[in-house]
Amino acid sequence: MAIHDLGRHGPKTRTACLTCKRRRVKCSLERPSCARCVKAGRNCEGYQLSLVQEVPAIPSKATTPPHLSTSSSLLSAFRATQSEWQAYSFYTHRIASILGGAFDTELWQNVMLQVADTDPTVRNGIFALGNLFRHGQTGVSDHASKCTCAHCRQALRYYNKSISALSHLLQEPCTPQAAHVALLSCVIFICVEFYRMNDNTAISLISKGCGMVAETIKNQPVSGTASIDMRLMKVFNRLWLLSTSLEGEQQAALLLLESWRRNLEHIVSQPAMGAFQHSQAHLILRTHYLTTRFGACASLDPSEMNHEEHLQDFRGIVLAAEEGLTRFPLKDEARSFSFEGSFLAPLYLTALKCRESGVRRKALELMHLTGAKEGLWHRSELIRVATRVMELEEGLAAFGPEGDPSGIPDRGPMLFYDVLAGLNYRKAGKTFVDVTYLIYDTTSPQRWHTRQETLEVVE
């Protein structure tokens, strides 16, 4: 038999999706996912198309894409200017993996890029992120929410274009694909507001996104397939938990939490999951489990003495965080921002609530190794508040007559039931946070007391 008679008999197609190419079957060519893959229950890996050069409107600066990697993640069907390709490249090479964190790599590195190929809403959102994350590269030190550097101006331009494209999309008849694009865009918008430290806006967007999820689920056919990507569902579940407080019956919460722990341990104990036991994701899950358990146990008890019962939990948080931060040190842009929460919030809770001096100081030390901002959490703000609480509770500082920390003490060391830090704000070029200290005093006729003060945050 001649050599040319072996192997495939049809001509190779250059337009099929990557999955159909690998399977050597005819592709139906729908975007972002072909119908053949969807009907077969397969994961459509998208299309590998050549870069398209746009004819420049102004000859001085051509819209030829810059020299980029030939990685399939950068081969896209849309036209773009040189600055847009640079933002797209920066997102693909430097940002997507950071935003994906330990859990959502597929969403940020694959799904976003597949949809961006054909949809301007997500595409402009990616251009916005690619520009925004270069904030500070030109040496400016302005607060991200007020910065007017070239990168931030470009980011806002594409952010507004993405919002405009979404507005037009929402005026059209609702389809599963339109809902998918709207939710992806909402996640991008939340990320932009997280990064720009507009936390009130981010919380509002989380609420709207969760509302869209609920509306989409309500309108999907009873016998039809799920109309929301489960990866998106998981993101909005975590965002909702981030923006709301622990609610519901305490005992029911504890039972559900314990059930979750047992199920996780069962999964991790499987032979195929050996590598996961020492992964960053497992360490993050461990710290957040201990944080949630402490919150559920202590939420209904005004006495601070019960925190001694959770000393082992606090030690567990510190040990897991230390392992995670030393074995998986932050690199590049991850030092300044991450979309998902990691170790910062659990360490903050430990520094705030643990009464054992060595443990809380270790937690404070490790906080300096985390990213500068994790979602809604600001490292510099949390370090400032935790340090102040430690000083007050250990008698190293005291409130003044009107809450002025430099004034004459009006009482000795105290234990706080809770410490409530508001969203930080800028004033006269400085960052401040208003803090309310809630005190439960069994020796006083009026058991509950509050003290308030404003702390300056050094960034």
Model pLDDT for residues 114-149, shown as the tens digit of each residue: 999 889 999 999 999 999 988 766 655 566 677 878
Q: Are residues 92 and 235 both part of a single domain?
A: yes
Q: Half-sphere exposure (CA, 13 Å, Cβ side) for 177?
A: 16
Q: Are residues 197 and 276 both part of a single domain?
A: no
Q: Are residues 410 and 454 both part of a single domain?
A: yes
3-state secondary structure 34-45: CHHHHHCCCCCC
Q: Are residues 252 and 331 both part of a single domain?
A: yes
> Of 315, 345, 375, which residue constitutes the final position of a domain?
375
Q: Alpha-carbon distance 234 to 281, whole Å?
A: 15
pLDDT for position 417: 84
Residue 238 domain flag: yes
Q: Are residues 366 and 402 both part of a single domain?
A: no
Structural domain count of the chain: 3
- On the question of pLDDT at 64 being above 60, the answer is no
pLDDT for position 381: 95
Longest CA span, the chain: 100
pLDDT for position 223: 53
Residue 123 domain flag: yes
pLDDT tens per residue, range 66-103: 444 433 344 456 777 888 888 998 999 888 888 888 88
- Say whether pTM exceeds 0.85: no
Q: Are residues 341 and 401 both part of a single domain?
A: no
Residue 305 domain flag: yes
Q: Are residues 437 and 345 both part of a single domain?
A: no
Residue 6 domain flag: no
Residue 74 domain flag: no
Percent above pLDDT 90 for the chain: 29
> Of 350, 375, 400, which residue constitutes the final position of a domain?
375
Q: Alpha-carbon distance 90 to 84, whole Å?
A: 10
Using 50, 70 and 90 to split pLDDT, how confident is the model at 250? low
Q: Are residues 213 and 90 both part of a single domain?
A: yes
Domain range for 412? 378-459
Residue 3 domain flag: no
Q: Helix 120-132 to helix 176-195 angle, to the nearest 10 degrees?
A: 10
The verdict on whether omega for the bond into residue 329 sits within 30 degrees of 0, i.e. cis, is no
Tokens, residue 9: 């008999």
Give residue for tokens 């489960």: 230
> Of 242, 276, 294, which residue constitutes the final position of a domain?
242
pLDDT for position 423: 87
Q: Are residues 95 and 219 both part of a single domain?
A: yes
Which amino acid would we find at residue 21? K
CB 318 within 8 A of CB 363: yes
Q: Alpha-carbon distance 19 to 41, whole Å?
A: 12
State the DSSP string of 328-392: S---GGGGT-BSS--SHHHHHHHHHH---HHHHHHHHHHHTTS-SEETTEEHHHHHHHHHHHHHH
Q: Are residues 222 and 296 both part of a single domain?
A: no
Q: Are residues 109 and 256 both part of a single domain?
A: no
pLDDT for position 446: 72
Residue 52 domain flag: no
Q: What is the mean pLDDT of residues 350-366?
A: 94
- On the question of pLDDT at 60 being above 50, the answer is no
Q: Are residues 125 and 234 both part of a single domain?
A: yes
- On the question of pLDDT at 24 being above 90, the answer is no
Residue 30 domain flag: no
- On the question of pLDDT at 16 being above 50, the answer is yes
pLDDT tens per residue, range 275-301: 888 899 999 999 999 988 887 777 655
> According to the per-residue pLDDT averaged within each range, which of 310-314, 321-325, 411-415, 424-428 is highest?
321-325
